[in-house]
Structure 1
Amino acid sequence: VDYPTQPMQVIASLWNGENWATDGGKIKIDWRYAPFVASFRGFSIDGCPANGHGTQQCSLPKYWWNTGTYTSLSATQKIAYQQVRRKYLTYDYCSDRA
């Protein structure tokens, strides 16, 4: 049976990386807020079957995520995005140089 016809699931894990993943251990977890819980509600996802031929076909315009609405943010959306980052982002794994 081909992969896309198999049931799939979404799994998340929470882990303590405060000694190495948080700006070299400078930012610690506030354990007063434990236990930490993650949940998914109303989750749905669309995908592109690669069928063993690479992923080029997943860039075709027939997929909704490749249309103009989804490939860039408007000026208003960019401002809103930056405001949310400034207000809520405490750590960015991608910019951690430690």
Structure 2
Amino acid sequence: MIIRFYVDNIPIRVFKNCKNIGVEYPSQAMQIEASLWDGDSWATDGGQTKTNWSYAPFKAHFEGFDITAACSNSNTQQCHSSQYWWNSQKHWKLDSNQQRQYEKVRRNYMNYDYCSDRPRYPTPPKECLYDA
């Protein structure tokens, strides 16, 4: 199983269920939030990628936003029901086209990856051993 976030039907974030190797995996209700980080060393690649405040004010506009998930107030056993399309084996991993799209997003738009941050994590977190 994986948790996937899409923008315009393109996967931009993938989190695999790696509980079998000791990586925590969500088992409770989640929410989505957006925030701006200032680019200090604690937030990014040692502070090398700074926020250009001359572009302020920063605004985000979301439309046509859709969440497909089990309701958080439902019994957690129901979340694993076969009635949900995402629980079919077909959706347990990205297909080859989605994988290509995801890799392109990472290559062209991602400027920080904690899995590659050796100064902060000399030994990468366990989930970094598995490709998304």
Runs (4+) of structure 1 moved beyond 6 Å?
none
Structure number with higher relative contact order (C-alpha < 8 Å, ≥ 6 residues apart): 1
TM-score, normalised relative to structure 1: 0.63
State the superposition RMSD in angstroms. Answer: 2.7
Q: How many pairs does the alignment contain?
A: 87
Which secondary structure state, in structure 2, belongs to the residue aligned with residue 57 of structure 1? helix
Structure 2 gaps, min length 5: 1-31, 121-132
**Larger fraction in strand:** 2
TM-score, normalised relative to structure 2: 0.50
Please tell me whether the aligned partners of residues 50 and 57 of structure 1 are also in contact (alpha carbons under 8 angstroms). no
Structure 1 gaps, min length 5: 1-9
Please tell me whether the aligned partners of residues 59 and 66 of structure 1 are also in contact (alpha carbons under 8 angstroms). yes
Q: Structure 1, residues 30-82: CA drift from partner, whole Å, max 9, x if none?
A: 223322111210122233235474x2321222112212443211222212211
Query: In structure 1, which of residues 20, 30, 35 is the aligned counterpart of residue 42 of structure 2?
Result: 20
Query: In structure 2, which of residues 31, 43, 51 is the aligned counterpart of residue 29 of structure 1?
Result: 51
Identity, % of aligned pairs?
A: 48
Structure 2 distance, partners of 1:44, 1:83, is 23
Asked if 1:78 is matched to 2:99, the reply is: yes
Q: CA deviation at 1:22?
A: 0.6
Taking structure 1 as reference, are residues 47 and 79 closer, same or farther at Cα in structure 2, changes over 3 Å only? closer
